[in-house]
């Protein structure tokens, strides 16, 4: 290791859907070393080990030089975008079936079970009697059908007692993970809080596996230092906290990329677009800071109660499914939102199996419905396949660790729907043609198996459009069409994000004016558009995609040298931040109730109630920040008092006292 870089090194790790990145970072010298390894979903520690061992070797640094580890991930975001996650049971306390129709809760629940229990509280924390009879009757059977539970109680943010009692009963009888809504948000709005809790419960096993894999690897290398995880707002939390609240890691990767972009480019004003394998994430840097979405992060079409950067996530990436619509006179190509395992990547580990299927399909005279598509297990542990229906189990057993052609796997349309459900559960990958394969055909990427990519493109090029002609004359021509489509779709999603920030109700995907501007079509009326700030392209494939995207948008292109590991850089340069809100309400004249950060308290004096609320919020925020590893956290206090004047006197409706404690994480000094 360079003699200049002798201070403690910080290790940043980003686990994405395709790659796991690692950087060694010095607070005085910046990025010391960087490396990538394929994300190994069957055992995440393998990919982590590959990336971390590579950066240590590159820096010629011993493991003992590491003083802090910080992890960012897109796994939770990807899972929600792709509709994946473990099966969860939802317990609603004090709610009824009609509440499922609000805030997209019914849609998010899908076929997962729900139980309604009498109980809950009012706005001041007063309780309605809790009855757990229905829960006790259902639990023995439910415990074998779900991987986790979500509990949401009426006004639980004012009094969490019923959620806690139900949580304890479920843990006692099922020994499964349980998430309570009051642990995730202090905001009102029961159905959306229930939705957030449900999504959290589905992500528990995934994030637990990731953190466990990272901890296991670090322990095996003798690295005993604090471990942090990036939250969706870019702040850092302890690994233990992330295990309890994995929902807070949605948009972890995108948030880390924003922090990394600011650090790597020094730009105060920019549009930041991060292209990964599964998603493209777009956000705006304004005066050096990303805007937080006060309404809650939207991921996979669901608005959660998780505070996160105002980042828009689209199902578009290098590994997006190539969808060919051959019904018109000219075939149209669209990409995403599903992620496929690229044929070129599937053939890295299973070359003979993948290439033999593709070559056999090319030798046939007719074009098959499932040409160029195979299925393979993702390698998740068997216990995560709990609750499968008989037809799902039967199909799952026919899919193994080696890719098998869909044409031999699916014999009916019903089986296709069954396969889609297995994919949604994260149990099966579909291998197929992607933009990454197209880039291999064109020689712009070469890290995987080019032969498989070319065979897949040749198969797809044979598809006939409505006029009876093949949609492309060659694999190269089709690949150019796919890359052009990715450029155009990327430009549209970046424009959509920027227009939304400007408050303009224009959909770039359907606007004829935008279409003419992007195509630079001549006309008596000339349309043009441009961004008012640079476009920062991030992601491993940013250098091959973003110059063309920036040119289409009339923007200056900025692609930092460390664009491929910006997330890992962002993971290590962030701060711990803890926010706690305590409420004061007045149910009757002269009575003041303090709720939040502990049990309810009753006061007869408003100022005493306010002083207690401030003290509670400050103490809880500092304790949370320190518990998450902050070193000497600083405190900021915000107060909002809603007390309108009624008939000449002020009447307290609600007072909110929010304390925010922040600081850099502690670094181990060995």
Helix-strand-coil percent breakdown of the chain, rounded to 5?
A: 40, 25, 35
Residue 647 has pLDDT above 90, yes or no: no
Question: In the structure, what pLDDT confidence band is assigned to residue 6 with cuts at 50, 70 and 90?
Answer: very low
* Band of pLDDT at residue 550, cut at 50, 70 and 90: very high
The two most distant CA atoms of the chain are separated, in Å, by 88
Q: Which residues of 51-78 are buried (b: 16+ CB within 10 A; e: fewer)?
A: bbbbbbeebebebebbbbbbbbbbbbbb
Q: Please, what is the Cα angle at 14 between 12 and 20, to 5 degrees?
A: 115
621, 561 Cβ separation under 8 angstroms: no
Name the residue among 464, 481, 436 with its Cα closest to residue 325.
464
Distance between CA atoms of 575 and 554, rounded to whole angstroms? 35
When pLDDT is averaged across residues 145-157 and rounded to a whole number, the result is 90
Which stretch, 6-20, 361-375, 638-652, has highest mean pLDDT?
A: 361-375
Angle, helices 542-552/475-502, rounded to nearest 10 degrees: 60
pLDDT of residue 321: 95
Q: Report domain extents, the chain.
A: 9-81+208-262, 88-201, 320-482, 575-663
pLDDT in the model for residue 3: 43
Comparing 609 with 18, the larger pLDDT belongs to 609
Closest CA to 578 of 613, 633, 624: 624
Q: Do domains 9-81+208-262 and 88-201 have the same CATH topology?
A: no
What does the pLDDT look like over 24-54, one tens digit per residue? 998 888 889 999 888 876 777 888 889 999 9
Please, which pLDDT band fits residue 82 given cuts at 50, 70 and 90?
A: low
User: Mean of the pLDDT values across residues 274-298?
Assistant: 82
Which residues lie below 8 Å from residue 469, measured CB to CB, with a gap of 6+?
A: none
Contact (CB, 8 A) for 201 and 167? no
Distance of CA 16 to the CA centre of its chain: 9
pLDDT grade, residue 1 (50/70/90)? Answer: very low
Entry pTM: 0.71
Side-chain-side CA neighbours of 145 within 13 Å: the count stands at 13
Strand 148-153 to 178-180 pairing: parallel
Cα separations in angstroms, 489 against 277, 278, 381: 15, 14, 36
The answer to whether residue 670 scores a pLDDT higher than 60 is no
Vertex 214: Cα angle to 208 and 218 (nearest 5): 140
Average pLDDT of the residues of the chain: 88
Asked if residue 574 lies in contact with residue 232, where contact means CB atoms within 8 angstroms, the answer is: no
Alpha-carbon distance 160 to 53, whole Å?
45
> Bigger pLDDT: 291 or 315?
315
Helix (H) or strand (E) holding 657: strand 654-663
> What dotted CATH number matches 88-201?
3.40.50
Burial classification of residue 256, based on how many CB atoms lie within 10 Å of its CB (0-12 exposed, 13-18 middle, 19 or more buried): buried
Nearest to residue 529, comparing CAs of 508, 547, 548? 508
User: What does the alpha-carbon distance between residue 70 and residue 572 come to, in Å, rounded to a whole number?
Assistant: 6
* CB-neighbour burial class of residue 437 (10 A; exposed 0-12, middle 13-18, buried 19+): buried
d(C-alpha 642, C-alpha 332), whole Å? 55
Q: Which of 475, 445, 443, 469 is nearest to 457 (CA)?
A: 475
DSSP H helices in 410-521: 413-424, 435-441, 450-461, 475-502, 512-519
Q: What is the pLDDT of residue 139?
A: 93
Q: Helix H segments across 189-342?
A: 190-220, 239-244, 252-265
Q: Provide the pLDDT for residue 288.
A: 78
Mean pLDDT of 495-499: 92
Element (H, E) at 135: helix 133-142
Is the Cβ–Cβ distance between 623 and 238 less than 8 Å?
Answer: no
Task: Give the pLDDT mean for 574-578.
Answer: 87
Task: Indicate whether 59 pLDDT > 80.
Answer: yes
Q: Do the Cβ atoms of 253 and 78 come closer than 8 Å? A: no
Find the distance separating the first CA and the last CA of the chain, reported in whole Å: 17
Position 488 pLDDT exceeds 90: yes
Which of 579, 587, 580 lies closest to 125 in space, CA to CA? 587
CATH among 3.30.1280.10, 3.40.50.920, 3.30.420.40, 2.60.40.10 for 9-81+208-262: 3.30.420.40
Closest by CA to 624, choosing from 648, 668, 659, is: 659
């Amino acid at each position: 290791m360079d003699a200049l870089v002798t201070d403690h090194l910080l290790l940043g790790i980003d686990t994405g859907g395709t790659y796991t990145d690692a950087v060694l970072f010095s607070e005085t010298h910046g990025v010391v070393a960087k490396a990538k390894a394929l994300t190994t979903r069957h055992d995440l520690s393998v990919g982590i080990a590959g990336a971390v061992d590579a950066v240590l070797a590159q820096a010629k640094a011993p493991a003992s030089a590491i003083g802090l580890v910080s992890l960012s991930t897109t796994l939770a975001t990807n899972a929600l975008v792709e509709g994946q996650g473990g099966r969860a049971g939802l317990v609603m306390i004090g709610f009824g079936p009609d509440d499922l129709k609000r805030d997209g809760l019914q849609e998010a629940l899908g076929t997962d079970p729900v139980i309604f229990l009498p109980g809950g509280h009012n706005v001041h924390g007063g309780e309605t009697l809790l009855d757990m009879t229905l829960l006790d009757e259902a639990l023995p059977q439910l415990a074998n059908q779900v991987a986790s539970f979500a509990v949401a109680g009426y006004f639980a943010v004012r009094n969490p007692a019923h959620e806690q009692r139900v949580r304890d009963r479920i843990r006692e009888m099922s020994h499964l993970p349980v998430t309570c809504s009051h642990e995730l948000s202090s905001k009102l709005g029961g159905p959306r809080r229930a939705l957030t809790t449900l999504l959290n419960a589905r992500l528990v096993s995934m994030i637990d596996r990731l953190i466990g894999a990272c901890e296991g690897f670090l322990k095996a290398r003798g690295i005993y230092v604090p471990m942090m995880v990036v939250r969706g707002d870019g702040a850092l939390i302890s690994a233990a906290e992330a295990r309890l609240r994995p929902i807070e890691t949605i948009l972890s990767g995108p948030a880390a990329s924003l922090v990394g972009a600011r650090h790597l480019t020094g730009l105060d004003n920019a549009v930041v677009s991060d292209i990964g394998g599964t998603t493209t994430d777009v956000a705006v840097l304004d005066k050096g800071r990303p805007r937080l979405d006060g309404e809650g992060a939207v991921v996979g079409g669901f608005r959660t109660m998780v505070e996160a950067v105002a980042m828009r996530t689209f199902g578009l990436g290098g590994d997006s499914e190539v969808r060919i619509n051959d019904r018109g006179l000219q075939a149209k190509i669209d990409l995403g939102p599903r992620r496929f395992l690229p044929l070129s990547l599937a053939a890295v580990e299973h070359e003979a199996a993948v290439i033999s299927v593709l070559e056999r399909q090319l030798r046939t005279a007719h074009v098959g419905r499932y040409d160029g598509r195979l299925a393979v297990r993702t390698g998740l542990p068997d216990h995560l396949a709990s609750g499968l229906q008989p037809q799902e189990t039967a199909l799952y057993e026919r899919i193994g660790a080696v890719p098998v052609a869909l044409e031999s796997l699916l014999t009916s349309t019903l089986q296709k729907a069954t396969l889609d459900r297995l994919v949604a559960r994260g149990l099966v990958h579909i291998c197929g043609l992607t933009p990454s394969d197209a880039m291999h055909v064109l020689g712009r990427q070469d890290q995987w198996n080019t032969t498989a990519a070319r065979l897949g493109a040749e198969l797809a090029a044979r598809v006939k459009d409505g006029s009876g002609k093949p949609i492309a004359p060659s694999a190269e021509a089709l690949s150019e069409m796919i890359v052009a489509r990715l450029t155009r779709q990327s430009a549209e999603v970046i424009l959509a994000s920027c227009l939304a920030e400007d408050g303009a109700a224009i959909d770039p995907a359907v606007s004829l004016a935008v279409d003419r501007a992007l195509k630079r079509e001549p006309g008596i009326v000339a349309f043009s558009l441009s961004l008012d700030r640079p476009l920062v392209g991030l992601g491993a494939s940013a250098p091959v995609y973003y110059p063309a995207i920036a040119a289409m948008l009339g923007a200056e292109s900025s692609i930092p040298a460390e664009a491929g590991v910006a997330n890992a850089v962002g993971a290590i340069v962030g701060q711990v931040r803890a926010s706690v809100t305590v409420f004061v309400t007045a149910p009757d004249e002269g009575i003041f109730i303090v709720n939040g950060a502990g049990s309810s308290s009753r006061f007869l004096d408003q100022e005493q109630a306010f002083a207690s609320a401030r003290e509670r919020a400050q103490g809880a925020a500092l304790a949370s920040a320190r518990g998450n590893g902050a070193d000497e956290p600083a405190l900021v206090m915000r107060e909002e008092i809603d007390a309108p004047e009624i008939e000449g006197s002020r009447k307290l409706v609600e007072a909110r006292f929010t304390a925010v404690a922040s600081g850099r994480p502690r670094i181990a000094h060995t």
